Amino acid sequence: MKVEFLPLTPSLLPACCAFNARIRSHGNVPFFLPETAQLADPGSPSGILRSHHVAVDENGEVRGGVLLAEQRGWLAGQTIPLVNIQSPLTEGVVDRRFVNVSLQMLRFVSERSPYLYVVGMGGTQSVFARFLATAGWRVTMAPFLFSVIRARKVLREVAPLRHGLQRVVARLAASTGLGSLGSSLWRLAHRATGLSGYSLQAISRWPDEVDSIWARSRDDLAFSAVRDLPALIDLYPESDRRLHRFLLLSNRRAVGWSTGIVTAMKNDQYFGNLSVGSLLDGMAPLEHLCALLALSQAELRRLGADLIITNQTHAQWRKYLLRLGFLVGPSNYALAISKSLTAELRKISDSGPRIHVNRGDGAGRLHL
């Protein structure tokens, strides 16, 4: 079946509603196409351009859709045109007659730039992740790390500890205080040091200094989306009241930044009724990174988090998080990068550990 990818306009919304109805009739899917008008974001010369496109067949029926975020990327010391693919969905997930729509979608987005990436997707075994792997993309997991703050609540609420023998052991540890004692001793053994002269300041808007932080940090990265001032204003705007923005100061000089959220979960399938702190993103030169992570962890704890979670691909981030007592858990957050981007990364020695991708990329924060 031949389809044409068109920008989403109000005239196409009825066909999107019909598409969603067909998909919904086959059971649960993680998301649907928009049913209200979402016009293309005009963006800015140095910001991010977002546009939703839908796949329309010869009869005017919508057979899929995708949200594209066209942005600047950083690859081996150069700025590149980068496209983040978000919310890809085709009717092929429920009807094999339309499986080739995904291939046509891939051709369509590849015309925007050879440098493409996708994050999330529910893991490497999702339909779209397996399709990308078959198409020759590099598909890996973005490691998941967590820090237990209030062990008693975590032992009672986290999904794997709610059933079977694990539930019995967890409830025993919670009720006797052994879990809290063990957690306290673990945090004491992983207490941060070397923080003299550092402070973390909560900010409501991004200051100009984040440009110099990006300039001093980017050479430690083999690949990342650009994280300068225009990008941060777009990714983490003042209008998003859930976000907490932090600026790391060393002897009153800005040397790093981070951002996170704290969400009071309600009967969540993974976190029950915990208050979950999420370290979404951040940037600092390596000599300041451990201080940034330690103080960000402390601030999310102060804001009421029972558990702090993060997904990070950069090896130095994971090294310092483990030093601060974070543990590694099973991840459902995948990273897929296009064949052209993979080929360029292969030219760089030790590029894999220096890829910087996290939940700040894509729509990962929407599920937290």
Q: pLDDT of 268-305, one tens digit each?
A: 888 999 999 999 999 999 999 999 999 999 999 999 99
Contacts 24+ apart (CB under 8 A), 252-255: 254/207, 254/209, 254/210, 254/212, 254/213, 255/213, 255/216, 255/284, 255/285, 255/288
For residues 1 and 101, give the distance between their C-alpha atoms in angstroms, rounded to a whole number: 7
CA 315 vs CA 56, 142, 222, 337, 360: distances in Å:
42, 11, 12, 18, 17
Give residue 349's pLDDT band: very low, low, confident or very high (50, 70, 90): confident
3-class DSSP state of 172: helix
For residues 238 and 230, give the distance between their C-alpha atoms in angstroms, rounded to a whole number: 13
Query: Is the domain 3-113 a CATH 3.40.630 member?
Result: yes
The distance of Cα 19 from the centroid of its chain, to the nearest Å, equals 27
Q: How many Cβ atoms are within 10 Å of 81's Cβ, its own excluded?
A: 12
- 3-113 matches 144-329 in fold: yes
Q: Is the pLDDT of residue 363 over 80?
A: no
Give residue 125's pLDDT band: very low, low, confident or very high (50, 70, 90): confident
Domain ranges of the chain: 3-113, 144-329
Q: Token digits for 9?
A: 């306009």
| CB contact set of 188 (below 8 Å; sequence gap of 6+) | none
3-class DSSP state of 233: helix
Angle between helices 100-110 and 127-134 (to 10 degrees): 70
Q: Token digits for 103?
A: 């291939």
Backbone torsions φ then ψ of 328, nearest 5 degrees? -95, 130
Q: Is pTM, for the whole model, over 0.85?
A: yes
Task: Tell me the pairing of strands 78-90 and 62-75.
Answer: antiparallel
For residues 116 and 140, give the distance between their C-alpha atoms in angstroms, rounded to a whole number: 15
The pLDDT score that the predictor gives to residue 301 is 96
| 1.10.12.10, 3.40.630.30, 3.50.50.60, 3.30.70.1710: CATH of 144-329 | 3.40.630.30
Give the tens place of pLDDT for each residue, 235-279: 999 999 999 999 999 999 999 999 999 999 999 888 999 999 999
The pLDDT score that the predictor gives to residue 162 is 66
3-class DSSP state of 205: coil
The pLDDT score that the predictor gives to residue 356 is 97
